[in-house]
Amino acid sequence: MNARAAWTGKKVEIFGEVLNIFDSRDKDIAYYYESYIPAFDAGAPVEGRLSRVVEPRTVRIGAKVNF
């Protein structure tokens, strides 16, 4: 779960975001396909499940100026 709040003026927007509010350690997405990593696979591509971990809790702030 992520959250974003923003204040918008005439030419400026100031915002803050929190990503991964609950600090989940789950998988973001999982794939099943053939891959080859030379350091781990013995000379040939291997079929299997690959996944990407959700990014850690992150806080962002920023400003956007419209000209």
- For residue 10, the one-letter residue type is K
Q: What is the pLDDT of residue 9?
A: 96
What number is the average pLDDT over the span 9-20? 96
Q: Please report the pLDDT score of residue 6 as a whole number.
A: 98
H/E stretch holding 64 reads: strand 58-65
Q: What confidence score (pLDDT) does residue 52 get?
A: 81
Residues 6+ apart with CB under 8 A from 54: 20, 24, 25, 26, 27, 28
Residue whose pair of structure tokens reads 């989940």 in the numeric block: 24
Please write the tens of the pLDDT for every residue from 20-56. 999 988 888 888 988 888 887 777 888 888 888 888 9
Question: Would the pLDDT of 19 be above 90?
Answer: yes
Quick check: 49 and 31 in contact, CB under 8 A?
A: yes
Domain ranges of the chain: 3-65
What pLDDT is stored for residue 8 in this prediction?
97
